Amino acid sequence: MSLPEIVLWYLKDSLTSRRLLPAALLLAIGPAFALLFITFGFEPTEAYDGSVQLGIFSGSLLLLTIAHAGGIVTNEVTGRTISFLLTRPVPRWKLFLGKWIGAVTVTVLISLGSCILTAVICYGADVPANMLRRDLLVLTAGAITYSSLFALLSTLSKRPWIIAAVFAFFWESWVAYVPGDFRRLSVMTYLKQLSPHADLTQTESAFAPLQEAFQATPIDPMTCWNTLAVLTLVSLVIAVAIFSSAEFLPAEESA
Amino acid sequence: MIELERASRWYGQVIGVNDVSVSIGPGITGLLGENGAGKSTLIKLITGQLKPTTGAVRVFGENPFANTEVFRRLGYCPETDSFYESMTCEEFLRLMVRMAGIPKSEVASITERNLSRVGMLEHRRRKLAACSKGMRQRIKIAQAIAHEPELLILDEPMNGLDPLGRKEMGDLLSELGQDRTIIVSSHILYEVEALTRRILLLHRGRLLAYGDVRQIRDLIDRHPHKVLVETTDRGRELATKLIELASVLSVRIEEDGKRLIVETAKPDEFYTNLAQTVLAHQIPVRTFYSQDNNLEAVFRYLVKG
Amino acid sequence: MSAVPGPPPIADLTYRNYDGPKALRPLRWWTITRSFIRTALRKKPFWVIFALSAMQWMMFALLVFINSQAQMLAEQAGAEPPRNVRLFDIVDTFANISDIWIWTFALALYVGAGAIAADNRANAIQVYLSKPITRSDYILGKWAGMAILIYAAQFVPMLFAMLYAALDAGFAEFMREHSRLLLDVLVVPAFAAVVHASLLIGISAMNKTPAIAGIIYTGIFIVWSALCQALAAAPAIAENARPTIQFLNPRGVISGLTFNFVGSRGTGPRFRELPLPDWGPLLALGLVLCVVGLALAIWRVRAVEVVKG
């Protein structure tokens, strides 16, 4: 079975009615934010920035990568279907990469769709093309990087989604408030650096004085791209190596 | 074809398979043992899902762990009743057939043939989530045999099948066993007995016996055989004649006075003597058979000591 | 002689729950709760998350220690008259530390996402409901198990941290000065316990996979909170409504009720003072969330397995 066939199998599985509704809801987060922000009086630029940053980058993108990439191995183990896969003459690396590419594709399609809809809602026909292009590119990079990290978690833990959720929704936001270069340990820092958006919530934040006190030095784009690329590559290599050599038994039997 | 050399597998402090050395060749082999005896662990070692903690496992001369060359020639029916539930029977089987390395052009015909083989052709479009346990079991077997593997490993394949299904599956396995190696695990002895006389008996992770059930029985002949002899109304007379024989250890008359339970340490000699006795005294014998010649008895004897 | 009517010739095939005597025990739901708690306590990840959750209260103890050290240094310097140099107000700090939601949330996910979803997948609900317990017993049992674990995971370290603070400041004096904090320690953990348990039980009942239930809950919890944070800054929102709008989400309900109950928004020294949100809307939303969660569970928990093919 070839790599594209495994990817197609994953994509076809993602199109089942059971999965379409959550996908549609995740797709709608950004546009729904945009509609609400415009209704409540934000300027189109503010509404777009807020919707893309809060609804897509920090919302649907993370949730999609947790659900898809975080389940690459774990879903097979907890669903007890792993035995079917691991006793077939398909190299394990191919299975893993095929499912990973499938997960990234679904995440990218939904995130990009959400971003385009958000832009159309906020700007109508006058969407700033450069900005949208930049956001789509960075969203793709984010999807690839987070998917690699969470796919690695999937080979290591039976409940990667809890660890991924804590990482995505706690670490990734908390680390931004830590003084110095600590924030470089967050993927979102690089994504925000490549695709900066105004923070709508900052005006009411109790952390505002801290943020003002510790103005971070910008990271140049090349460093951002390189870091994301290295992170992706390293995570994937480790994940493939683990998946190729470790034992994965149906959940209740491995105890 | 399959060789285990002092293979052991531990799960932390629990032992699954303990120092097993065995070589399994063509034909059907019944893998027997009580629940928790290590059957599934042994199967997972052979199917390359687990690595032995110590010792070695070889299938077709190779280490089977994550070995695609071995998997190309191997079919495996897992014990767990789990599937990609949103798929139909046909979609699942097509995926499994394709994953087994069958060229795209042949996938459809092979899928159809194997759905028919396990009696699921008319249910091909049914979602797996909506299939009964018996139907799911059939699909599991179909995915294991679809690519015509040389080695077929079936973990509890009869689970969930109704009597007719069991009979059909038994016939299918007997047919498949003529030209390939099949390992069938079960804790239901008569099922295995109906398929093969070659057994591999595990108990608490250790290999207790491997070979023809009759040969194994012969080896444990120090343990007395029980033979049931059913006569008409001359049970007591026959009992007095039989007790005089040197090959007979004891005779018990059942309440109806017609059936005798004879205990013998030399079954072959006893059967000859029995024939001579009934002919000499013209005592009618309706039937006689050994209660100990079946798998249950071997199993009971070896496991319970 | 009148004929005794026999059973109808066509069997009644409608499904009924267990309808026999239910004299097993007076608190039947407690059987489920006890089993739920025992199962969770046996798992290592539970204790790992519990330890992480307890760490925030170790931080509280550390701040109390820093306070006393600062006071001691000031006294050694001989300031006249003696000044109160406590760096951290104990009530503000309590509110601040209580607002670290992530570990309680992670623990709620760990114990709650699979509470009913796992039973759905294993078709275990049919087994439960074939015993002399009702659907309400089952749901209440699971809900109580979740709520007790989430409550205890906050309450126990909170209590120890508070005891440390009391002993550090002198027990009698602390009790006199902060008698209200004892009530806070008792009540504050209940907000998170009730909200998480009620919502999670509904979402878990809707799913067959704990992971999906957990991800859906995470999505609701995080995305809703982010939306409210942003909307609170919207031009069309009246200035006096902003502090409350920000809290009109599950995460906000827990924090807002905590801040209100403690009487502090947890603002640190030299930080901008933030107003407290209104009680009413938060309490109303909290109640709605609990009712919706439980209603979803009641709607979805059935003793029969329905398959579609």
Residue A39, chain B, CB below 8 Å: the answer is no
Mean pLDDT of the region C127-151: 89
For C213-249, how does the pLDDT look when each residue is reduced to its tens digit (9 = 90+)? Answer: 999 999 999 999 999 988 988 888 888 888 889 899 9
Mean pLDDT of chain B: 85
Residue C132: in which H helix or E strand, if any?
none
Spatial contact of B55 and B8, defined as CB atoms under 8 Å apart = yes
8 Å CB contact of C230 and A201: yes
Percent of chain B at pLDDT > 70 equals 92
DSSP-derived pairing of the beta strands B259-264 and B14-24: unpaired
pLDDT of residue A204: 47
pLDDT of residue B135: 87
Chain B residues 39-78 within an 8 A CB cutoff of chain A = 40, 44, 47-51, 66, 68-69, 71-72, 74, 76, 78
Which residues are paired to B288 by β-bridges?
B229
pLDDT for res B272: 84
Domains and CATH numbers, chain B: 1-73+149-213 (3.40.50.300), 81-147 (no CATH), 220-304 (3.30.70.100)
Least confident of A157-166, A200-209, B242-251: A200-209
* Extended beta strands in chain B, E state: 2-11, 14-24, 27-32, 54-59, 74-77, 151-155, 181-186, 198-203, 206-212, 225-231, 248-253, 259-264, 285-290
pLDDT one-digit tens code per residue, B202-243: 888 888 888 887 777 666 665 677 888 888 888 888 899 898
Q: Which long-range contacts (CB under 8 A, 24 or more apart) does A231-237 make?
A: A231/A145, A231/A148, A231/A149, A231/A187, A232/A144, A232/A145, A232/A148, A233/A148, A235/A145, A235/A148, A235/A149, A235/A151, A235/A152, A236/A97, A236/A100, A236/A148, A236/A151, A236/A152
Query: CB distance from B126 to chain C under 8 Å?
Result: yes
User: Which residues 142-201 of A are in CB contact (within 8 Å) with B?
Assistant: none
- Chain A residues with beta carbon closer than 8 angstroms to that of C267: 206
> In chain A, which residue's Cα lies nearest the Cα of C121?
A79
Terminal C-alpha separation, chain B: 31
**pLDDT reported for residue A255:** 33
- On whether the CB atoms of residues A93 and A236 are closer than 8 A, the answer is no
For residues A168-180, give the mean pLDDT. 80
Query: Is C262 or A150 the better-scoring residue by pLDDT?
Result: A150
Which are the contacts of A124, defined by CB distance < 8 A and separation ≥ 6? none
Provide the pLDDT for residue B298.
Answer: 64
- Residue C4 DSSP label: P
Q: Which of C290, C282, C190, C197 is nearest to C241 (CA)?
A: C282
Residues A214-224, mean pLDDT to the nearest whole number:
80
Instruction: Give the Cα separation of A118 and A133 in Å (integer).
Output: 13
pLDDT higher than threshold 90 for residue A121: yes
Inter-residue contact C175 to C163 (CB < 8 Å): no
Out of A176-190, B94-108, B158-172, the most confident range is: B94-108
Least confident of A211-215, A242-246, B4-8, B198-202: A211-215
Q: Quick check: bond before C81 cis, omega within 30?
A: yes
For residue B126, list chain C residues with Cβ-Cβ distance below 8 A: 309
What is the pLDDT averaged over residues B34-50? 89
Q: How many Å apart are CA A173 and CA A31, to the nearest integer? A: 22
- Chain A contact for C215 (CB, 8 A cutoff): yes
pLDDT confidence band for C11 (50 / 70 / 90):
low
